[in-house]
Amino acid sequence: MNQPRRGQGPMLNFTKMHGLGNDFMVVDAISQPFRLRPEMIRELADRHFGIGFDQLLVVEPPGLPDVDFRYRIFNSDGSEVEQCGNGARCFARFVRDQRLTNKKVIRVQTAKGVIELRVGRAGMVTVDMGVPELNPPAIPFAADQRKDIYTVEVGGETVELSAISLGNPHGVLVVENVDTAPVGELGPRLENHPRFPARANIGFLQIVDRTHARLRVFERGSGETMACGSGACAAVVAGCLRGLLDSRVDVELTGGHLVIEWQGEGSPVMMEGPTASVFEGQLRLPGDPSPRRRRGARQGDTRPGQQRQQNRQRQTVTSKP
């Protein structure tokens, strides 16, 4: 591999994947050094000036006994989050494609716990997403008591939603028809609503019948995506709590279908769906600007189309040892 010139960083190998059009840049941070600052993640996520993805998924060595890998997830806005359902399926396929394991049942440590991935045939993967969290402080959602349906004031109107965590926070509204639901208007307002102190993914759920639903999700930190795995799980939990859905539901998202099963409170949510690997690539990481270079950099020294935020707090995302 060609050696970096002075000031340049190393090459980074990655794979572009998706789960029903919810797309990912996936990086093996076991076999190669990985250092990306949040602003670099934002630039790489850009669909015109970068690679383009909804989330960056990072594979790391396990940090716990009897776990195979650690799984870190970053939204396209650079924020690190606790869970990604579609990403978990692609993670399982990636670690086998890259020969990091030959297991078919893979235990993965996330920021909020351990999930189990089961690799099936033809790229299908089943994920045990864990037991959904319904207690407001743990979601987190501001409420004086736990309810199946909360009333929330937003933008001068009152909406009803369920608040559920699959490790990451979700608000779920039931709508007549997802095609006409106000996803673009209401999604960002509820994503950033003060009652969701860690922000939230906002699902718009249409009940077709007791075993079929349609769903659109305005994702925290990424906007509306073609599919949201944890969102589909949260939506089925919400539908079951409201008595509108049975325990096994086909959820139709913009990008395709997921099968979600939930046997009720205290039991885990199971998600089954497809994975796709699109291409492999390499990119040259920026070198760490030396203090001398930073002082010497010309005012407004930015690449075409890339408006760097001056004096932004510089943190670097590195894979944990």
Ligand X SMILES: N[C@H](CCC[C@H](N)C(=O)O)C(=O)O
Q: Are 101 and 68 in contact (CB under 8 A)?
A: yes
The stretch among 30-38, 58-66, 73-81, 247-255 that binds ligand X (CB under 6 A) is 73-81
Cα–Cα distances (Å) from 285 to 40, 41, 315, in that order, read: 9, 11, 15
84 is catalytic: yes
For residue 91, the minimal CB distance to ligand X (Å) is: 11
Q: Are 124 and 272 in contact (CB under 8 A)?
A: yes
Residue 185 DSSP class: H
C-alpha span between 281 and 52 (Å, rounded): 12
75 is in an annotated binding site: yes
Q: Are 289 and 7 in contact (CB under 8 A)?
A: yes
* Residue selected from 15, 75, 126, 275 as contacting ligand X according to rule CB under 6 A: 75
Q: How far apart, in Å, do the first and last CA atoms of the chain sit?
A: 24
C-alpha span between 173 and 182 (Å, rounded): 11
Which residue's CB is nearer to ligand X, number 22 or number 162?
Answer: 22
- The amino acid present at 270, given as its one-letter code, is M
* Residue selected from 67, 228, 238, 253 as contacting ligand X according to rule CB under 6 A: 228
With CA atoms as reference, report the closest residue to 70 among 13, 16, 113, 126: 113
Residues 153-172 that bind ligand X (CB under 6 A): 168
For residue 9, the minimal CB distance to ligand X (Å) is: 27
Contact between 136 and ligand X by CB under 6 A: the answer reads no
For residue 228, the minimal CB distance to ligand X (Å) is: 4
- The amino acid present at 313, given as its one-letter code, is Q
For residue 60, the minimal CB distance to ligand X (Å) is: 17
Q: Are 216 and 181 in contact (CB under 8 A)?
A: yes
90 is catalytic: no
Contact map string, positions 83 to 122, toward ligand X, x by CB under 6 A: -xxxx-----------------------------------
Binding-site positions = 22, 55, 75, 85-86, 168, 201, 219-220, 229-230
* Residues lying near ligand X in the complex (CB under 6 A): 22, 54-55, 73, 75, 81, 84-87, 168, 201, 219-222, 225, 228-231
Q: Which residues are catalytic?
A: 84, 228
